[in-house]
Amino acid sequence: MSKIVVLGAGISGHVAASHLRRKLSKAHEVVVVSPNSNYQWIPSNIWVGIGRIKSEKILFPLASLYKKKHIDFKQAKAVSFHPEGDAQEQKPYVLAEYVAGETKGQQEKVTYDYLINATGPKLNFEATEGLNPGTNKAYSVCTYTHADHAWEGLNALIQEMKKGKKAKILIGTGHAKATCQGAAFEYILNVEQELRRHNVRDLAEITWISNEYQLGDFGMDGMLLSYGSMTMKSSEMVEMVFEDRDIKWILGAGVNKIEDGIAHYENLEGETKTETFDFAMLIPSFSGHGFKAFDKNNQDITDKLFKGFMIVDADYTPKPYEEWTVQDWPETYQNPTYKNIFAPGIAFAPPHTISKPRKSKNGTEIFPSPPRTGMPSGITAKLVADNIIDSIKNNKESLKHKGSMGNMGAACIASAGFGLTQGSGISITTFPIIPDYVKYPKTHGRKLGKTFGEIGLAGHWLKLALHYAFIYKAKMKPFWWLIPE
Amino acid sequence: MTQRISKYQRFKMMNPILQFFKFIYLSLKVLIIVAGGHGGTRKAH
């Protein structure tokens, strides 16, 4: 009998736990440790942030589902990692602290045979002075509560605009090394459409601010993609959309401070500038959770497990951008020191960024960190679960399931406006996620045809269909496992 | 030079009948690309 502990119940943790439970007999224990009581379908936060979907529609409570499916659930947060146990506990364990209920504040040693760290990122708002969701007129859509607040702020502004107020709206990244430009891109287009729906668009000046060197970088070094019968750069595609929607843009901007309605930033020229706003949605930087790890003698071994995020089978050798290869990226998400620990999704430490690193004339690094969206998070979680299942069933380590982001496709169905007949979406797929300049030297490291873009109403329908399909899947309803990650 | 979206392109983008077929096409294409498999990038050690 084996005990598998999954830390986190986001897309990655929930996918891993559900596949483990489906494929392993009840003799084996699956335990999920998460401080969140609800599962949330994060991609739909965009629509919560424009008031078109209630946050209750994108979440559901985990405890009752896990009870029904025989998954042990502990609403607790991980405190420290003890992969060798300690003087009292022979088995490896994670020290967890309960965050709700009668046991709130109590700590427990949660032992395991296999550990899946799917804790995702810490939303590091503190890294940007004054960037705190809901204050200084700046908001976030990173969680459903943030998105609810964002809608309250936006709605209040819309009501003022209906009385004739002119407004400046700033949307993009709130740190020099933030990622998730895609979410901000979706939000700016949705906000723009909502302003038109409320007949106040002509009173708004909307500006995109981003640490990207070019539009359409998305933290993926941009893309060359098929668009209809044309081949187009993602920068050209996004520029076309922004021009069409009358959205201005500021690029190469490392936002470093937010005051009431003012964003301070440094650009790649080394200039320090400000941009005023009446409403802003700025994505914070992501960081690891700052976990500590200890060996059986209670010596600090954090550097064997963490490099900000968790160390896995990537090549972390520092090298210049020109020498980066897809082989640097992990395949099995296994920690090289403790082979029974895995970190799929956003929890693993990437070997380097995907976008070309750039510094301002003052030496400030201003470029996007690598994004890892829901799709690769789900795929990597499933392959980790499959390797653990095989290892348990064969009674020896099995790592036959592999999934490097350098050999994996991803789809980004970016909402560009809500509405069954008036909605729009920008559907972009990319293969591979990490550009392979050896395999595809003439097409910016990606395979044309499999890397394509489409704009239109169908994109909105597709995003809506995915919303319902993935919530159905997450609720583990009949045949949920037929829906791919 | 920035390419703006023409009226004809916009008509095609927002026409529900055309977009219905586009929806089927996109769903299949996304499924093929994403569920079409993934793997490692390194030679066997």
What domains can be seen in chain A, in order of their start residue?
3-122+287-405 (3.50.50.100)
pLDDT, averaged across chain B:
84
pLDDT of residue B35: 72
The residue-averaged pLDDT of A42-70 equals 95
Among B22, B30, B40, the residue with its CB nearest the CB of A429 is B30
- Vertex A183, ends A20 and A438: CA angle to 5°? 75
Q: How would residue B42 be classed by pLDDT, with cut points 50, 70 and 90?
A: confident
Half-sphere exposure of A319 (CA within 13 A, CB side): 10
| Confidence bin at A82 (pLDDT 50/70/90) | very high
- Tell the burial category of A145 from Cβ atoms under 10 Å away from its Cβ (0-12, 13-18, 19+): middle
A229 vs A349, more confident: A349
Instruction: For residue range A218-267, list pLDDT tens digits in order.
Output: 999 999 999 888 899 999 999 999 999 999 999 999 999 999 999 999 99
C-alpha A112/C-alpha A83 separation (Å) is 9
User: ipTM value of the model?
Assistant: 0.91
Minimal CA separation from A233 to chain B, in Å: 12
Element (DSSP H or E) covering residue A76: strand A76-82
Q: Which residues of B touch A422 (CB under 8 A)?
A: 14
Please tell me which of the candidates A243, A379, A383 has its beta carbon nearest to residue B2: A243
DSSP A178: -
User: DSSP letters along A466-481, please?
Assistant: HHHHHHHHHTT-TTGG
Cross-chain residue pair B34–A411, CB shorter than 8 Å: yes
Question: Does B28 touch chain A if contact means CB atoms closer than 8 Å?
Answer: no
Segment A142-172, tens digit of pLDDT: 999 999 999 999 999 999 999 999 999 999 9
Portion 411-430 of A in contact with B at CB < 8 A? 411, 413, 421-422, 424, 427, 429
Query: A399 touching B, CB under 8 A?
Result: no
Residues, chain A: 485
Looking at residue B3, its pLDDT comes to: 64
pLDDT tens per residue, range A419-433: 899 899 999 989 999
What percent of chain A clears pLDDT 90, i.e. is strictly above it? 92
Instruction: List Cα–Cα distances, A127 to A171, A210, A271, A349, A411, in angstroms.
Output: 18, 16, 20, 19, 30
Interface contact flag, B14 A457, Cβ < 8 Å: yes
Greater confidence (A443 vs B3) lies with: A443
- The residue-averaged pLDDT of B4-30 equals 91
Whether the predicted pLDDT of B36 surpasses 80:
no
Interface probe, candidates A427, A438, A482, chain B, greatest B C-beta count within 10 A: A427
**Taking residues A50-76, what's their average pLDDT?**
96
User: Which pLDDT belongs to residue B45?
Assistant: 44
Nearest CA to CA, how far is A227 from chain B (Å)?
A: 12
**Residue-level pLDDT at A148:** 96
